[in-house]
A and B are shown apart, each in its own frame.
Chain A
């Protein structure tokens, strides 16, 4: 895209761009270095006590304690458990929502739409508090319920968009060979829509994993609470930054690996990979050879 916008750079402008690039790198690296140095400076509190800088060994020695890691690990497991349970429920709720919204009967369609808009427009945190207080479920199930309803609403909308985007002929073909409308939806439309929308759904599951940290606020003992609240408070103020960085690193590791998975799947089964109609400027001789994606995931798993 950007290469279309201007002519190929000549030697002069290439040199200029290289210069800006080097200067930019130096500025950015300098900023980062300054941040590291500032964090590393010893700090004098109001009462005259001197605290060593962040990179001092005394700010990190708690991590020699195995119990600290155990607590962090349990917190991370609690986060993952909530995310996994909520993801399963969110997928189920999403499927139900998408079917409700596409229902032929207005008695189902309209209430589903209203409910969906309500859930989508409300903060997850408020929903957690609501479920916690009204149904007194305990913080784990409050978090799971709020996360699965909210993300289910969003996944449902994605699935509906996927089904709507299918060519009309798919449904007509299903009905023509004698399937009932429900069977057509389940066996013909839904699998295609699901595959097309898989990247969006997984991206939403990353959001869900991130949002489990909200259950910290309603009192669930997950990674953020066990790392930043309990451990940091127990070991004292001087370790707060250390614990923050460790918790941040754990979160980033979990989320980035899930994001990476989402991107890989998006590349394999992108919006065009699952589609039935292709723009065939040159009719392929052997459709499987020309585009192996046309057979979808099954053929790949057989080949592998």
Chain B
């Protein structure tokens, strides 16, 4: 137990970096994901093809490979803003197709009858989207989006293997120093992750229940 308390500053620093990665990559991935999702349902076929290809390729690439590219190969191209930034870029790119898929499934999940009804009472395209389809789609999208965020939280741990000092990096360093207290150290690190993921999961579950009642 003392191994945990002695190294608490290290854990807190790691936790801060994990939260930082989560925040930057979360915002970045949402932005890119929104653009990709919009391209995917747009009437312009070349955008649709591009968005589909992007989603399929990035989604099927292992995160380790993406971060390897960012940490080892981007510096070779004379692009090295620091390992934290590189890992944030990698996580952003890796997470964006998952956001796009969640958004797209939300829009597709709204029953066609809703749009048909809106159209038949004379609403225009814009009105149909803003008053009928989007309010329902956003509600349905929130739980899968939170699940993407939870996955992102867990994925930030991979950045720890690529020179970023976040929670997993802290765990590696401290377990190296204190080989006698591996179990408490790793349980403490796991607790830090659970502090983020379990509340997010609970929120997602609650919203899901609310949406289910509404439908």
Which residues, 38 to 90 on B, are CB-close (under 8 Å) to A?
41, 43-47, 50, 56-57, 60-65, 68-69, 72-73, 76
Which residues, 57 to 112 on A, are CB-close (under 8 Å) to B?
none
Chain A residues with CB under 8 Å of B167's CB are: 126
B17 lies within 8 A of chain A by Cβ: no
19 extra interchain contacts, Cβ-Cβ under 8 A, other than A5-B125, A124-B154, A224-B62?
A1-B107, A2-B41, A5-B128, A21-B45, A24-B46, A25-B46, A28-B50, A117-B201, A120-B197, A122-B154, A122-B190, A126-B168, A126-B186, A129-B175, A210-B60, A214-B64, A237-B76, A240-B73, A256-B56
Nearest Cβ on chain A to B165's Cβ, whole angstroms: 15
A134 lies within 8 A of chain B by Cβ: yes
Chain A interface secondary structure, helix, strand, loop or mixed? helix
Contact size range, A:
35 or more
CB–CB A129/B64 < 8 A: no
Alpha-carbon separation in the docked complex, A244 to B60 (Å): 15
Chain A residues with CB under 8 Å of B172's CB are: 129
Chain B interface secondary structure, helix, strand, loop or mixed? helix
* Nearest-CB residue, chain B, relative to A211: B62
Which residues, 163 to 185 on B, are CB-close (under 8 Å) to A?
167-168, 171-172, 175, 182-183
CB–CB A134/B186 < 8 A: yes
Nearest Cβ on chain A to B69's Cβ, whole angstroms: 6
CB–CB A4/B119 < 8 A: yes
Number of interchain pairs (Cβ within 8 Å): 139
A125 lies within 8 A of chain B by Cβ: yes
Chain B residues with CB under 8 Å of A228's CB are: 65, 68, 72
B157 lies within 8 A of chain A by Cβ: yes
B3 lies within 8 A of chain A by Cβ: no
Chain A residues with CB under 8 Å of B197's CB are: 120-122
Nearest Cβ on chain A to B125's Cβ, whole angstroms: 4
